[in-house]
Amino acid sequence: MELTADNEIYKINIESPETFCAKEFKNKMQTIRFSSHMKISAVLLLTLIFFVPSCKKTSPQSSPDKTQSDNSNAQTAAEVPPPAGLVPIPIELPNPMFVGTPQDFKVSNLEKPLGKLRPPFLAPPGTENAAFLKTVAATDDVPIIGEIEMITDGDKQATDGSYVELGPFLQSVTIDLQADYDIYAVLLWHYHQQARVYYDVIVQLADDPDFITNVRTLFNNDSDNSSGLGIGSDMHYVETAEGKLIDAKGARARYVRLYSNGNSSNELNHYIEVEVFGKPAK
Ligand SMILES: [Ca+2]
Ligand SMILES: [Ca+2]
């Protein structure tokens, strides 16, 4: 007799053991046990096949409100304009002269490279480079290479002929914007033919050319006060074609001064360009 996975047949056979010899009965019982296990396993398997996918299927449906909520949030985020109607400032970058950033500088407190382009810097519409072609004064007014005027001539290329070289020790350049501006960012390029770190980089604003009245420091990475202008907590950074962008937070000023004190390659001080993004004060 063929055994099937039917409880009724098992019952009949078990109730009539005398029709089997002892060996046959034992074999039959093992087969029944095996079949029972198979049956239980089959039931479990069927349960898993039908129940689990139905769980997966129902779970997204069980939270339709959340899905709709996520979608509406995404739409809301896309529709929200930048804070207070701000727009990216119009930065034009020069050609890069090297790719990547060497990591073998023995410079303390060195900023880690971003590893990608700097995100757009946002400021009120109409913010422009107020330093373009404006007058520059320097502590070293007889540069070793180039002319002081090159700092605001709009040429930001790294090549020879595009940078001005000032003497060693602490040197500064001062840009006269010729009127008060609400300044949102200062963007500067010391040098970007090769990766370098410039020391004692300090950027200040003031209301007068001698930096006596209403002096504000926007950036200072002179960690040991070798400049005598106070200890700065900003980080050293590696010069690249992107320049160094410093947030000025809308501070109002006419004069912008930048200090440096040599660099990781030599004791000299260099400038390719300084841009001051602002709007005329009203
Ligand atoms: Ca220039
Ligand atoms: Ca220093």
Task: Report the range of poorest mean pLDDT among 32-41, 51-60, 137-146.
Answer: 51-60
> Tell me, what's the pLDDT at 79?
59
> Tell me, what's the pLDDT at 61?
35
Whole-number Å distance, alpha carbon 167 to ligand 2 midpoint, is 17
Ion ligand 2 contact residues with beta carbon within 5 A: 200, 222, 224, 226
Percentage of residues of the chain with pLDDT beyond 70: 70
Nearest ligand, CA of residue 161?
1
As a whole number of angstroms, the distance between CA 265 and CA 259 comes to 17
Percentage of residues of the chain with pLDDT beyond 90: 65
Residue 278 has pLDDT above 90, yes or no: yes
Whole-number Å distance, alpha carbon 224 to ligand 2 midpoint, is 5
**Residue 246, phi then psi, degrees to nearest 5:** -120, 125
- Output the six-digit token pair for 74: 């995404």
Whole-number Å distance, alpha carbon 89 to ligand 1 midpoint, is 19
For the chain, give the secondary structure using H, E and C: CCCCCCHHHHHHHHHCHHHCCHHHHHHHHHHHHHHHHHHHHHHHHHHHHHHHHHHHHHHHHCCHHHHHHHHHHHHHHHHCCCHHHCEECCCCCCCCCCCCCCCCCCCCCECCCCCCCCCCCEECCCCEECCCCCEEEECCCCCCECCHHHHHCCCCCCCCCCCEEECCCCEEEEEEEEEEEEEEEEEEECCCCCCCEECCCEEEEECCCCCCCCCEEEEECCCCCCCCCCCCCCCECECCCCCEEEEEEEEEEEEEEEEECCECCCCCEEECEEEEEEEECC
Predicted confidence band of residue 84 (pLDDT cuts 50, 70, 90): confident
Q: State which fold the 89-280 domain adopts.
A: Jelly Rolls (2.60.120)
More confident residue, 23 or 229: 229
Taking residues 245-267, what's their average pLDDT?
A: 98
Whole-number Å distance, alpha carbon 94 to ligand 2 midpoint, is 29
Whole-number Å distance, alpha carbon 240 to ligand 2 midpoint, is 21
As a whole number of angstroms, the distance between CA 225 and CA 184 comes to 26
Ion ligand 1 contact residues with beta carbon within 5 A: 150, 153, 155, 273
Residue 91, classified by CB atoms within 10 Å of its CB into exposed (0-12), middle (13-18) or buried (19+), is: middle
Whole-number Å distance, alpha carbon 231 to ligand 2 midpoint, is 8
> Tell me, what's the pLDDT at 115?
87
Nearest ligand, CA of residue 155?
1
As a whole number of angstroms, the distance between CA 188 and CA 240 comes to 10
What own/partner pairs with CB < 8 Å and gap ≥ 24 does 7-10 have? 10/35
> Tell me, what's the pLDDT at 83?
77
Taking residues 45-64, what's their average pLDDT?
A: 39
More confident residue, 21 or 278: 278
Whole-number Å distance, alpha carbon 149 to ligand 2 midpoint, is 27
Beta carbons within 8 Å of 150's beta carbon, 6+ residues apart: 162, 163, 164, 271, 272, 273
As a whole number of angstroms, the distance between CA 187 and CA 200 comes to 16
**Tens of pLDDT along 194-244?**
999 999 999 999 999 999 999 999 999 999 999 999 999 999 999 999 999
Residue 13 has pLDDT above 60, yes or no: no
Task: Report the range of poorest mean pLDDT among 1-5, 34-38, 144-148, 180-184.
Answer: 1-5
Nearest ligand, CA of residue 129?
1
Whole-number Å distance, alpha carbon 258 to ligand 1 midpoint, is 15
- Output the six-digit token pair for 27: 């074999």
Nearest ligand, CA of residue 157?
1
Whole-number Å distance, alpha carbon 226 to ligand 2 midpoint, is 4
Whole-number Å distance, alpha carbon 265 to ligand 2 midpoint, is 15
Residue 140, amino acid? D
Mean pLDDT, the chain, whole residue set: 80
**Tens of pLDDT along 108-167?**
999 998 889 999 999 999 999 999 999 999 999 999 999 999 999 999 999 999 999 999
115 backbone φψ class: left, alpha, beta (φ>0; ψ -120 to 50): left
The radius of gyration of the chain's CA atoms, rounded to the nearest angstrom, is: 38
Nearest ligand, CA of residue 108?
2
Whole-number Å distance, alpha carbon 152 to ligand 1 midpoint, is 5
Predicted confidence band of residue 104 (pLDDT cuts 50, 70, 90): confident
Domain boundaries, the chain: 2-54, 89-280
